[in-house]
A and B are shown apart, each in its own frame.
Chain A
Amino acid sequence: MIFLRLVQNEIMKINSKRQSILFFSLLAGLVLITAIIIKAYISDLALVMNYLQFTMLTITIFGFLITLFGLILGAQIVTDEYKDGTIKQLLIRPSSRVSILFSKYLSVLIMITAAYFFLFVWSSLLGFIFFGAGEGLASAEKIPLLEEIGNLTFTVVFQFYLTELPSLFFLATLSFFTATIFKRSALALSVAIIAYFSGKVIGGLSQNYWWGEYIVFNHLPLYAYSDSVVIQRFSSPAYPELGLSFSIIILVLYFAIMLGSSALVFSKRDVA
């Protein structure tokens, strides 16, 4: 399958760049430092913590780094080819422009997922070494949330990681879309970061109007529909009466519009 070979190429390029190596080293280093600090200086916490709680903690602290990495990838994967002039080398091949564009898009999603997976595995490993797999906070006070955090299971932590993905995929897609349309990585990154920080506010304000239910930010926290207090992250659906499937439809629509217009513009544009 030539499409898979294209994806393989994109991933090779991402991983050959210094910034990717730097990012993964940074992430690995920060998690290690966190474990050491807790073990050495916050012994009260270290005593009652197990590897699952540590893994929950690292994503809460360092999740934004993966977000940033994903947004940068989305902004650069197309624009870098224009900047380096290599776009010409890509587009004079038998593969259609649309398949080249989507191989890039898919590679961004794969790298984001890989980064989460890396954080999950590395945190669990270090957590296990430093804090073990013991009881952890289970004996803590009987407050509902704490109780659940105390009784964390592997499945819940894993789902917590997975449920980070839809919002991040959306922001990365926004970044990718803006970059492809305008060929400006700085603009794309800015748009995505603004969306990242102001999404909740925009969503909240829009809920005062009838069209609020079509605003993507009101549907992005799909985890709000979860039964688990931990996975919900203290949030509840903006429009509970519309339901999960409505939220998914809205998300799919936004993705389709962004990807469709990217493909349209990218495949029609003359390359100078």
Chain B
Amino acid sequence: MSNTPVVELRNVTKKIKGKPIVQHLSFSVQRGEVYGFLGPNGSGKTTTIRMIVGLSSITEGQILVEGHDITKSRSQAMAHVGAIVENPEMYGYMTGMQNLIHFSRMASTPISKERIMKIVELVELTHAIKQKVKTYSLGMRQRLGIAQALLHSPSILILDEPTNGLDPSGIRQLRDHLRYLAKQENISILVSSHLLSEIELMCDRALVIQEGKFIDEISIHNQPEEAANALSVEFEVDQAAAATAVLQDWQAKTGDHGKVTIMAEKSEIPRLVSLLVAQDISIYQIHIKTESLEDRFLALTKGGTQS
């Protein structure tokens, strides 16, 4: 497979009535990865996704899908995109199957009945596919939405806040489904959310935006390793002041209730314990505070706006 990103945004800006909603955004989604798009509500995620799928115009910049500029070669670019923008809206007065046939007819290459049935099985809707969609639960609609987005074997699946309105078990199912699909169908997935916990569970990498601007790009599975050399360790002792003095080389800070927080490597902890014990300081508890992604996200977005 080639190294060209599946989706690439180059310095993309969107203004609505002169007001900038998305500003100078650049990022790319690589083949086979699950890429998160994280930001508080109103930060411009949906607006960005609308531009990628061609629902709204791009004020400045360029978007490429499989190397095709979406404004210049829209048809080629869209042939590789499968998406659900916001809610999975389908034709309620038709059956699930009729909906899928409808969308399969819109693909640039013909889609066989077998392919449709395979996808239906993949999203576990075989039992309900002959029912009218208006009888479906939200979770079923969500899965039908994913089915229509996958019919034409896209190289990128774009899901805008797919967990909205789902209960925790629905969310878990969806997450497992996406991971499974990413493997089975060998596609990249771009998934937006305002909840870090979801992004953390689903994604390999994530882009963080706020007020339409790039804040950071984080690598989720590398997180524990990155933090390995700079652990924050919390000791609970009987004499906090004395312990702070002993550990001052490790940037010790005194907290409430006999707590002392230091920065140290994991391998140093036994030595630190010996030092404290040597000074007759009793240790009740040692706690390694891995800086959670949540903390980083909150720090990055300065506590978030109204998420």
Contacts and interface: CB of A to CB of B under 8 A. Distances in A.
Interface of A: 2, 5-6, 8-9, 12-13, 16-18, 84-86, 88-96, 268, 270-272
Contacts of B74: 94, 96
Contact of B93 (A9, A16, A95, A271): A16
Given A16-B93, A16-B98, A85-B87, A271 B103 contact: no
Contacts of A90: 106
A255 B16 CA distance: 32
B89 A92 contact: no
B78 A270 contact: no
A93 B102 CA distance: 12
B81 interface: yes
Interface residues of B, number: 32
B21 to A, nearest CB: 11
B contact patch SS: loop
Nearest to A95: B106
Interface in B52-106: 53-57, 74-76, 78-79, 81, 83, 85-87, 89-94, 98, 101-103, 105-106
A94 B75 contact: yes
Interface in B1-56: 16, 50, 53-56
A16 B91 contact: yes
Contacts of B274: none
B245 interface: no
A2 B104 CA distance: 11
B166 interface: no
Given A88-B85, A89-B148, A12 B98 contact: yes
Nearest to A18: B93
B223 interface: no
A9 B106 contact: yes
Given A2-B106, A16-B94, A89-B148, 7 more contacts: A2-B105, A5-B106, A12-B98, A84-B92, A86-B91, A92-B55, A96-B75
A168 to B, nearest CB: 25
Contacts of A270: 16, 50, 55-57
Interface of B: 16, 50, 53-57, 74-76, 78-79, 81, 83, 85-87, 89-94, 98, 101-103, 105-108, 148
A3 B92 CA distance: 24
A91 B92 contact: no
A94 B78 contact: yes
Contacts of A8: 105
Given A93-B107, A94-B75, A9 B55 contact: no
A18 to B, nearest CB: 7
Contact of A94 (B50, B90, B106): B106
Contacts of A9: 102, 105-106
Nearest to B90: A86
Closest 6 CB pairs of A and B: A85-B89, A270-B56, A5-B105, A93-B106, A92-B53, A271-B55
Nearest to B79: A94
